[in-house]
Amino acid sequence: MGTSTDNVHGLVLAVSSSIFIGSSFIIKKKGLMIAGTNGTRAGSGGHSYLYEPWWWAGMTAMIVGEIANFAAYAFAPAILVTPLGALSIIFSAVLAHFILKERLHIFGVLGCVLCVVGSTSIVLHAPHERTIVSVKQVWHLATEPGFLVYAAIITIMVAILIFYYVPRYGHTHLIVYVGICSLMGSLTVMCVKAVSIAFKLTLEGKNQFVYFQTWFFTGVVAVCCLLQINYLNKALDTFNTAVVSPVYYVMFTSFTILASIIMFKDWDSQNGSQIATELCGFVTILSGTFLLHKTKDMGSTPPPPPPALPYANSNSTTQNADLDGSYQHQQHSDNSGAPEPSNS
């Protein structure tokens, strides 16, 4: 990492970003739970959470975290800042355990670790983006056939998820809500980069807001963010927070890296070893996601009671009912037909 002051500032901002974003999931979930008792739950299409201060506190924490994350890239390289985003998963899971009393099974913990390791591997070995000096350059990259096809596929997939899968499987399959947020998130990041470049160049004296491309990217960011917030609320209100956080992180990171590779065409800078490492990272993510899905309810499901023995005395109220029943049955067999002994 080095010992420069800029790197230290970037590290502090990145860690602070993870803390704010990780806690925002828990604070928003708390607000959603309170709002659900006073009105229609977000998972059922309600928006009563908009009147809940806890939810707005969570949104504020998320915004602060995103601003800190954006500022961290101004001080430190991406190879340092991006992997630290995984800390938000751990922080969110710990808070959910103590505040929301949500339990995460040991295999869920292992799945979380696999997701973090896989995501970190992909991020660390992902190709570096080219230097962008104009919003028009971003527009040129975004309107090339490769990214247009990707954007069209993402739009179609999101439409199918919203209009077909959400009404049928939204309340039972986590991948539906999180999939919408992650798919749209990959397009959001590309547009956010364009807007941030426009702001940076404008502050340097080169006004980029005179071009319609800047306003187009801004509009896409606004629409995508509103869509992501809506379905992320549904996911948090319906499923375990300790599962939503890592799954959303790994899917969002994966699709964002894929969109960046397609848009900025950095495959030429990759060698076989780097590509193989990225593929291994994807396999690790899939393994971790599978464990999280399979064990998401194991931590909070109590073990079933043991079956009653056939010879137990159902009317007994003592702790040794089974043993007493067996003894009485044996005594009755031994003394069948014999007179009862006198108590004198």
- The per-residue pLDDT for 191 is 83
- The per-residue pLDDT for 320 is 46
The domain segmentation of the chain, as residue ranges, is 129-269
- The per-residue pLDDT for 338 is 45
DSSP state of 45: T
- The per-residue pLDDT for 77 is 54
Residues of the chain with pLDDT under 70: 1-4, 6-7, 42-45, 73-83, 123, 126-131, 242, 266-268, 292-344
From residue 58, give the alpha-carbon distance in Å to each of 19, 83, 142, 300, 302: 12, 23, 33, 25, 31
Q: Which long-range contacts (CB under 8 A, 24 or more apart) does 166-172 make?
A: 170/43, 170/234, 170/238, 171/43, 171/238
Determine the Cα–Cα distance for residues 126 and 113; give it in Å rounded to an integer: 20
**Type and span of the H or E element at 205:** none
Amino acid, single-letter form, for residue 131: T
Amino acid, single-letter form, for residue 255: F
Determine the Cα–Cα distance for residues 161 and 52; give it in Å rounded to an integer: 28
Per residue in 295-328, pLDDT tens?
656 655 555 555 555 544 444 444 444 444 544 4
pTM (global) more than 0.85:
no
DSSP state of 312: S
- The per-residue pLDDT for 3 is 45
Q: Kindly tell me the sign of the dihedral angle through the C-alpha atoms of 70, 75, 78, 80.
A: negative
- The per-residue pLDDT for 318 is 45
Determine the Cα–Cα distance for residues 231 and 243; give it in Å rounded to an integer: 15
- The per-residue pLDDT for 47 is 72
DSSP symbols for 263-309: HH--GGG--HHHHHHHHHHHHHHHHHHHHHHHTTTTTTPPPPPPPPP
DSSP symbols for 72-137: HHHHS-HHHHGGGGGHHHHHHHHHHHHTS-----HHHHHHHHHHHHHHHHHHHHSPPPPP---HHH
Residue with tokens 């800042």: 81
**Type and span of the H or E element at 315:** none
- The per-residue pLDDT for 311 is 47
- The per-residue pLDDT for 73 is 61
